[in-house]
Structure 1
């Protein structure tokens, strides 16, 4: 159906809930409300989902061992973890069971271990244990010898950071949810029963609103309610990605001892076979652009080499930066205004990938106090393509016809298939996240023209040299 026809039919409806923001949390929210039987409309200002803060994360499935005890964050992280593990096989979502070491590099780091371990055990992660230097280096011989010891957290895993939320939204859309892209919510009015939302695609109606707008969450709340209970303070995180030749240098996620400002810089394999270093934690006011800084990236690279000396001989494949929707307080900023059929889910920072499913559970439990629906009895479930390096990929099955991206081993069949789903890519970034095309050693130097040819006019924003350079 043409986009204009979809919009016309949507304008004639009053949805049970309008979810604003197509990031990690918005996608999970759309899935939960749809499965519970609500008529859902998801509005995203970008040309594709996951195009804001959600596109830059470290892809760790967190246990919550270091979350604030008895907090909403801890509850959502642990519930989200459990739900991901429960649904991942049915959705064909991967997990790489690495475990994590919180490594002490100084005596001061070691002095923090009793507090970290006590918090982990208080949070129910009772299998977290302290290990000494010799055991750590026997497990991770690639680490620098000045590592002094670690806390071992066996159930911290790696997942695909983009296929998971895409699967959540695909399940929502496959079961009746509506998605509008390039749709910015400007303001709105509540008449006591229904919200009239003024958007870049016209006026849309919903009984309730869930604000998952991430970096613009406080602005949206102010525009809808007249004031905001919190302030978003964007925090930039820069990352360095080493070549796949580095993946064997560590087996687990190497976490730092955190401080009051940040959880610190992580060294980890990715599920795609690279080695990732980052993020930094840099406050800024710009909510749209996360500029890369050569000096900072070199500092990151040198820090990685200091901790894993063999990285000195391995090239950097890629660098990227993302913005996290930090706020004026550290905790999740969940604000309920049920007298106006409205709730904000803001300030979701580094634990958002894990917590998204749990946040959606939490919000729906609040919602069902006021509204009720009939859950879908037998919802359909999408079967996602595997992009993980340690599992069987599409190129290993005959009939793929053509290897388009040789760096990431992406086939023509994979690229064409992504346009035949209920949530196809809307721009080049979305196509890359769904297939890994142009994300390898050459960063699209050899394959981008062929990818553009295969994409044709299917992208809302055509694949151009300018977009490729700025993605």
Structure 2
């Protein structure tokens, strides 16, 4: 650090600083705040979910196929339970579709018994084998090439963006703070306290929790002098089919996984579309998840092969996300008690489900110093519903006007998002809060009005009429 005598502001001392505003960071801020700690969340992006968390398949997993006895399984199942316990109080949607692992080859069929056994070992006891006839009866639009499968009735679909927003909102309603556009540049630990140098000033904290996702190993190297894990970004590309395609599937259709990846999923989304993906592509770049037309065409072909009715179905959007895979397959949750530090790394595709459970697990690693908040006086945010299977804002009187006709987004929804306790910092944040610009036209028609409504209200301004961005 360049300043040998930094002077933190009076409001810059916290019990816990959480670095990283992805789904795990938001869940972490919530858990520690509810346990009575004074919490600050730092995010270098303009909004939450600026990194890996913004691109995923939005499945609430049971953990049926997770490694038995692993921290990942523990966190997934704890997160699953807590989400189902709190989602109604936060008005977070659940689409109870169930899932099927479908075997397309004889080799796939040979693995189904082991999948059922793994599920039962993980206490997911309602998982069972189903034959081809059952699959055809339940999924009449699925290719008749399906040979058999495994029924996983507890796998559901959720809103992947409103959930972490709700977590952080509840933390802020209970006193937590969040700072965006704030990168941690350095810091040192002395006399039981951390002094962090950030791009927006100095912060002191008793404990630091590293939830920096794709940059978690670099942050650990920067502040501890060495990293306990290394991140190897894995890109996943997705194709989103038009809303008319959603009627072609009932359940989430999962592939039989291999050693490297869980494979390509076919699923409806809670927003009324049908999604295929992700791919699993190793890359060095931690910032950019580029789209390749050839790969997207292969995804479409694979989807049509499995659901023939998708042939000729319009594609609404394509997008890509980066998963913070590490040098080992398991979660890299690493406490350094002598320096009041906990790293939470290598949280891959299961992080959306596991986030609340990870926060519980990390809190148990933390030496309790605070009294939990009174559950009777706890405030619960009520999140705006964006799910197609539940009533939307345009169905209630007084919405003003429809701004985005593709996704039926009202002016009231956009205004509420922009003036909320945790307003969006950029276009991506506004889209994730409202679905504006995310439909068939990808902002071609509504972009100018969205730009006008958000003018001067986003940390990263939106140029007039420019509302095009991959999903």
- TM-score scaled by structure 2? 0.97
The residue that corresponds to 1:375 in the other structure is: 372
1:120 Cα shift?
0.2
- 1:429 and 2:428 matched: yes
Q: Distance in 2 between matches of 1:470 and 1:188?
A: 35
Q: Distance in 1 between matches of 2:29 and 2:332?
A: 19
Unpaired runs of at least 5, structure 2: 1-6
Counterparts of 1:57-76 in structure 2, within 5 Å, are 57-76=56-75
Q: Distance in 2 between matches of 1:11 and 1:165?
A: 29
1:220 Cα shift?
0.2
1:11 Cα shift?
5.5
- 1:411 and 2:414 matched: no
Q: Distance in 2 between matches of 1:234 and 1:209?
A: 24
1:10 Cα shift?
5.9
**Deviations along 1:186-209, whole A, 9 cap, x unmatched?**
111000311000110121110000
Report the CA distance shift for 1:11/1:267 in structure 2 as closer, same or farther (over 3 A): farther
- 1:395 and 2:394 matched: yes
Unpaired runs of at least 5, structure 1: 1-7
Counterparts of 1:36-435 in structure 2, within 5 Å, are 36-367=35-366, 370-377=367-374, 378-435=377-434
**Deviations along 1:161-212, whole A, 9 cap, x unmatched?**
0000000000001110010000000111000311000110121110000000
Count, aligned residues: 462
1:414 alignment partner, SS class: helix
1:288 Cα shift?
0.2
Report the CA distance shift for 1:10/1:272 in structure 2 as closer, same or farther (over 3 A): farther
1:421 Cα shift?
1.6
Q: Distance in 1 between matches of 2:164 and 2:9?
A: 23
Is the 2:91–2:383 contact (alpha carbons within 8 Å) kept by the matching residues of 1? yes
1:260 alignment partner, SS class: coil
Q: Distance in 2 between matches of 1:465 and 1:351?
A: 37
Is the 1:11–1:205 contact (alpha carbons within 8 Å) kept by the matching residues of 2? no
Instruction: Tell me which stretches of 4 or more aligned residues in structure 1 moved more than 4 Å.
Output: 8-11
**Deviations along 1:242-273, whole A, 9 cap, x unmatched?**
00000000100000000110000000000000
1:446 alignment partner, SS class: coil
1:89 alignment partner, SS class: coil
Is the 2:447–2:466 contact (alpha carbons within 8 Å) kept by the matching residues of 1? no
Is the 1:103–1:254 contact (alpha carbons within 8 Å) kept by the matching residues of 2? yes
1:376 Cα shift?
1.3
Is the 2:443–2:468 contact (alpha carbons within 8 Å) kept by the matching residues of 1? no
- TM-score scaled by structure 1? 0.97
Q: Distance in 2 between matches of 1:343 and 1:23?
A: 16
